[in-house]
Amino acid sequence: MSDKIIQKEDLPDFLKSLKKTYEVFAPIKENGFHRFKALKGEENIDLNFTNTRLSPKSLALPQSERIFEFNLDEKSEDGNIVKEAPKDYPPTVIFGIRPCDAKALRVMNVNFDNPEFRDPWWVKRLESLTLIGLGCNEPSSTCFCTSVGSGPFNEEGLDVLLFDLGENFLARTLTDKGEKLLDEAGVNKDADSNIKKRANALKEESEKKINSKVPTDKLKEKKVNDLFDAPFWDDVAFSCINCGTCTFLCPTCWCFDIQDEITKKQGDRIRNWDSCMFPLFTLHASGHNPRSEKVQRVRQRFMHKLKYYGDKYNNGVACVGCGRCVKYCPVNIDIREVFKLMNDI
């Protein structure tokens, strides 16, 4: 670990030099909100954001990804043989990822890369990523990261963490990957102790700004069935319209569906994001649907995030406190209220 200095005026050159080796994704404001986009030419990156509307999880788990291909022509040599779709995993930098979104990839990783299963596409993509985080000087009122094991300058999952100190960034390398990246980009000016002090003060100050807290301490000891049968689910679910906003904007929701799309004899097997809010998510081939009612689906989402995940992986909750679902749920279902209900029942 080392602390370097990047002058803000040198940022364009820094990004330019990264682009020689990496594909670089960075926050860009377009049509009214921030999103991570690949830097192709002279785009203006904009670091004046709290959170991007969509998390950058699609860079590790694309919303739609062709995973296999096949040919249904039996006469053909490779007829009816399913083959892995060829693709590249170019070295990629996500510049300006927020610490909560970086932590989210670690939350997801235990699902995709564990002793039982290794998802090859996830693993290769994650390996190809280098994450340059940007600490949050001004967290939003809907940020509650400090309650769920993260924080505005949390280092988990990042390769480099940037502290915005006004005229310059302190760049803290956290992994060999991060060290190598800064080295390649010629960032070699060490931060002096005064600057380090300012960075640490900034971190403390920012953590204090997070007023939104959720309780999680009793979730682990609760019995699954007690929470499952809790009396509050009908009230929580009433307003839900069962859209996929919460799950698609969530940086930790990983559920997917696999579909075959066929044109004439040529087929593609595609993995698409799916959502536990959709009835089709659990519809059986028999026609039976174990979660046919809205209340069952709403309960599933919160139980998975706040209870099943922790019970299964012993890795906290599957929520990093980014506040996207809180802000963009069209009917204002607030996960922070559900934390309270589930923890304090």
Q: Which residues bind another protein (CB under 8 A)?
A: 31-33, 48-50, 53-54, 63-64, 140-142, 235, 238-239, 241-245, 247-249, 257, 259, 261, 270, 272, 275, 278-280, 283, 326-328, 330-334, 336-337
Least separation, in Å, of the C-beta of 131 and another protein? 23
Least separation, in Å, of the C-beta of 70 and another protein? 17
**C-beta closer to another protein: residue 48 or 314:** 48
The residue among 126, 85, 88, 119 whose CA lies nearest residue 104 is: 126
Helix boundaries (H) for 189-285 = 193-209, 224-228, 233-238, 245-249
Question: Phi/psi of residue 130, each to 5°?
Answer: -120, 125
Least separation, in Å, of the C-beta of 27 and another protein? 13
**C-beta closer to another protein: residue 37 or 222:** 37
**C-beta closer to another protein: residue 79 or 330:** 330
**C-beta closer to another protein: residue 34 or 177:** 34
How far apart CA 300 and CA 246 sit, in angstroms, is 13
With contact defined as beta carbons under 8 Å apart, do 104 and 57 qualify? yes
DSSP string for 1-21: --EEEEEGGGHHHHHHHHHHH
With contact defined as beta carbons under 8 Å apart, do 59 and 25 qualify? yes
| Amino acid occupying residue 163 | F
Identify the H or E element spanning 238.
Answer: helix 233-238
Least separation, in Å, of the C-beta of 32 and another protein? 6
**C-beta closer to another protein: residue 195 or 255:** 255
Least separation, in Å, of the C-beta of 333 and another protein? 7
With contact defined as beta carbons under 8 Å apart, do 190 and 314 qualify? no
**C-beta closer to another protein: residue 187 or 333:** 333
Q: How many CA atoms lie within 13 A of 339 on its CB side?
A: 20
With contact defined as beta carbons under 8 Å apart, do 203 and 153 qualify? yes
Least separation, in Å, of the C-beta of 335 and another protein? 10
